[in-house]
Structure 1
Amino acid sequence: MLGNRQVPMKISIFLFPVLFILPAIFGYYEQWFSLNKVQSVNLSIALLATYLWLTELIPLYVTGFIILFLELSWLLPVWTEPRPKPIVFLSCYFSDTILLFLGGFVISQAISRYRLDERLAKIVLSQSRGSSFRFLLGIGLVTGFLSFWMNNTATAAMMLGLVMPMMARFPESSSFRKGILLLVPFSANLGGIATPVGTLPNVIGIGYLKERGLDFGFLTWMGFAVPVALTSILILILLIYYFYAKPEKDETFKHFTIATESRIFSNAEWFSISIIVITIFAWMTSDFHGIANGTIALFPVIVFFGTKLLSLEEFRSLSWDVLVLMGGGIALGKAMEETGLAKHFITSFSLNEHSLMFLFLFFSFMSLILSCFLSNTSVANLMLPITLGLPQELILPAALGATIGASLAMPFPISTPPNALAFGYGGIKSWDMAKIGGLISIVAWMIFVCLGGGILHISSIVDFSF
């Protein structure tokens, strides 16, 4: 009987998306929201994509393909002249932004392949010398730094895999063990905001800005985001130490030592390090030499696979699904910009009448709240297209707020994949994660608004003067 009940339920879940399409076919969106035909179709596609992203009814990357399919087969045919060419949407899937993140994937793959991340972690953690604070400092900073360049989830998985066997001598109820399980995912989350390749929302945000002619350089991004990330991680370390390490009564930590890596670097490892350093340096100096970051990102792709430092199997294992997902989000935003749908809703809500500071605060806080319950990628894809409807001079602070705000929320196990990964180790409760995660989310948001906003203002990137 239960199985019979589940069948219609599954059918209704799959039929529900039709409800987003029918109003556009029969012209109801045009009547309800005062839209033209092409905007009505665009809204239908956006609502359908949002539903599929939030419910994960189908794989997220498939939704990226659905967006492209509907834009080419439904949106363009109803578009009156001048009609954009299909390449406008097709190019979103292999743009400079996508290439940038592809380069980041390859660097992350090389770091893991040659265990450079593990070497760095062991070197730093071996310097703790029996001090719980130094140990926490090492874990937090190494995790954050690796997350500058690697996928947040991969970083958290590697660091947890490295330190949790060391925690075996601590009972599961140990407050210090709980602190480690909170420090690693939160540091990975915060570290991701520091560079354009650190996390998906960053790349998506940069992609949207580029579509509006606002090319945000690699070094420019790091100039305001690295201080925010490092300051947030340091405060997180202090919070973890105060709540979980300081009251620890177990004397085991005094005898807690970590063996350093004694094996010398191989030629392949030195060559890999050289390629990574050259790529990062080229990214950081792109404002000076003028080569696009996406073009630079092709360098590690060509060298690592061309010299067979990385294999064909590793090429196939790259997160191509994530790139398609990102392409779908950028293509959706491009359509909302081209059809004028984003501008229509901005005007309807009178957001274009507010100051730069209000928009900076509003979009960052809205992204923060939504990301507590939704994936930061979904939130970025939801919020960023709306910012494109703002006047040109208002887009940058709104888009930056929406982008960074999406990465600052971490109060629940479902908030980010690193959180879920750490929670799976056991020994921490949802309340433990909500207490520190909620606190550092608010603190990090305040640091971003005050410190990050201050750097943006002082460097004349955004003029927050009233």
Structure 2
Amino acid sequence: MKRDQLKYIIPLVIPLIVLLLPLSAFPFEGITIIQQRVIAIFLLAALCWVFEPIPIYATSVVIIVLELLMLSNKGIYWFRADEGQAHFGELLQYNEIMATFASPIIMLFLGGFFLAMAATKYRLDVNLARVLLRPFGSDPKYVMLGLMLITGVFSMFMSNTATTAMMLSILTPVIAVFGPKDPGRVAFALCIPVAANIGGIGTPIGTPPNAIALKYLVGDSYISFGEWMVFGVPFVVVMMALAWFLINGMYRADQQKIELSIKGKFLKTPKAIMVYITFSATIILWLMGSSHGMNSYTVALIPVAVFSLTGIINKEDLKRISWDVLWLVSGGIALGLALDKTGLAKLVVHSIPFDAFSPYLVLFGAAFLCLIMANFMSHTATANLLMPIMAALGMSMTSLAPLGGEITLILVVTFAASLGMSLPISTPPNALAHATGNVQTSQMARVGIILGVVGVLLSFVLVWLLHAVGHIG
């Protein structure tokens, strides 16, 4: 059988086998039919996200539809025939499953997309890059530092992929200045995706895994936009410095001087000024959540309303929004909903004696598992699969409490998801950089593995310290 055929057959056959197994075949005591169906849907999602027989966003839609058909109180009748029996379990409310398409997390990302689209449309991003790069002179290592810092800042509020594409386009004529064997070509092409991946960690809207984590940071574990940045930004700064030293040390440019020329000027039209004001106001409101009473989800809809009302974002622009990302996140939220509401996540966690293990072992084991998975599959898909289990584990393990409990576990795993950047397939920014032809897979892997491992260890130390001093948790 050909490999291409297997990628279609395996994701279909294994979940079907799980559905046909008797409940006694599962190692979990007291498992219900509904929970068995959730396991099948979970396996289908995991295998489809790994093998990608269909687009990863399509997998999310399939998850939601299957939950509606097989798990909801308005599903197909014969899937509800045994309702009321002890071994059947409790059905989910259909409107809760459908509501994942309009979760507050989705609205937060939608607001971020509107801000990024308006900034690009009115060249705010390019002009900021032009102004911010001036102080870094013409020494290649300092120009690279400036590029990384600017890429990191943009990635906090824009799509990592869009930021990388923009910055690489600015860099194209600069990279051409280096000789064909000058390590500077590698350094400059590699520093952009590394900075984009790291920078996305800085804010809740920087990358989808952050938004997925927020779904589970509720109640006593709630973290606001500003609180996220309290630990996210220092982490980004330290990791960016480490990345700069590492790349500069491994691929030091032979060229002694380069000139980076970015043409353009700030637009002064009424719509451009409105973009500047709205962009600034939204970020300020996000950072000052405790003073005005609005949460980050509510604030996120302000730019959506302003840009739609003023025509800054029109119907043609709406077609270019990354709807696939929103669908992907919503599918993950739906999967988490099923794991939580059916009690399967708690059942799995309680069936394994995690409290018998060292909390450090659990933390590092979960983080490195996430890091490995994120290198070979979508960061968002990785977060979608692991986060519900981590949330249940964090709540059940009493030994994690001195280390920050659920918050520490979720945040460390979330950071690990964004640090998976060792291969061209790990992230779209990596793929874009590799496509330039200036970076080989082995060069990317050397840098990515080092930063991934160091980043996971650093994230644990930082989150634990902030918990110890009372900033979070």
The counterpart of 2:376, out of the listed 368, 373, 378, is 373
The counterpart of 2:435, out of the listed 417, 424, 438, is 424
Q: Does 1:219 align with 2:226?
A: yes
Q: Does 1:55 align with 2:62?
A: no
Q: Does 1:152 align with 2:153?
A: no
Match for residue 118 of structure 2?
A: 110
Kindly provide the amino acid, as one letter, of the partner of residue 250 in structure 1: Q
Indicate how the Cα distance of structure 1 residues 17 and 447 shifts in structure 2: closer, same or farther if over 3 A, else same: closer
Distance 1:153 1:328 in 2: 21
Distance apart, 1:176 and its partner CA: 1.1
Q: Does 1:161 align with 2:164?
A: no
Tell whether the 8 Å contact from 1:336 to 1:342 is kept in structure 2 after alignment.
Answer: yes
Kindly provide the amino acid, as one letter, of the partner of residue 449 in structure 2: G
Match for residue 405 of structure 1?
A: 416
Kindly provide the amino acid, as one letter, of the partner of residue 223 in structure 1: V
| TM-score normalized with structure 2 length | 0.89
Superposition pairs for residues 445-464 of structure 1, below 5 Å? 445-462=456-473
Distance 1:165 1:62 in 2: 37
Distance apart, 1:428 and its partner CA: 2.1
Q: Secondary structure at the match of 1:388?
A: helix
Unaligned segments of structure 1, at least 5 residues: none
Q: Secondary structure at the match of 2:70?
A: helix
Q: Secondary structure at the match of 2:305?
A: helix
Distance 2:83 2:165 in 1: 47
Distance apart, 1:64 and its partner CA: 1.4
Distance 2:83 2:129 in 1: 55
Superposition pairs for residues 219-298 of structure 1, below 5 Å? 219-245=226-252, 248-251=253-256, 253=257, 256-258=259-261, 261-262=264-265, 265-298=268-301
The counterpart of 1:328, out of the listed 331, 338, 345, is 331
Match for residue 390 of structure 2?
A: 387
RMSD of aligned residue pairs (Cα, Å): 2.2
Distance apart, 1:261 and its partner CA: 4.1
Indicate how the Cα distance of structure 1 residues 213 and 340 shifts in structure 2: closer, same or farther if over 3 A, else same: farther
Distance 1:398 1:257 in 2: 42
Superposition pairs for residues 55-204 of structure 1, below 5 Å? 55-76=51-72, 77=80, 80=84, 83-204=91-212
Distance 1:270 1:79 in 2: 59
Distance 1:310 1:53 in 2: 32
Distance 1:354 1:296 in 2: 42
Distance apart, 1:29 and its partner CA: 5.1
Distance 2:246 2:49 in 1: 34
- Per-residue CA deviations over 1:360-385 (Å, capped at 9, x if unaligned) read 33322221122122221121011112
Higher mean C-alpha displacement, 27-36 vs 95-104: 27-36
Indicate how the Cα distance of structure 1 residues 95 and 213 shifts in structure 2: closer, same or farther if over 3 A, else same: farther
Indicate how the Cα distance of structure 1 residues 29 and 225 shifts in structure 2: closer, same or farther if over 3 A, else same: farther
Distance apart, 1:132 and its partner CA: 2.1
Tell whether the 8 Å contact from 2:328 to 2:381 is kept in structure 1 after alignment.
Answer: no
- Per-residue CA deviations over 1:163-185 (Å, capped at 9, x if unaligned) read 12122121232111210011110
Distance apart, 1:223 and its partner CA: 0.6
- Percent of pairs identical after alignment? 33
Higher mean C-alpha displacement, 333-342 vs 434-443: 434-443
Higher mean C-alpha displacement, 294-303 vs 164-173: 164-173
| TM-score normalized with structure 1 length | 0.90
Kindly provide the amino acid, as one letter, of the partner of residue 86 in structure 1: Y
- Count, aligned residues: 451
Tell whether the 8 Å contact from 2:224 to 2:295 is kept in structure 1 after alignment.
Answer: no
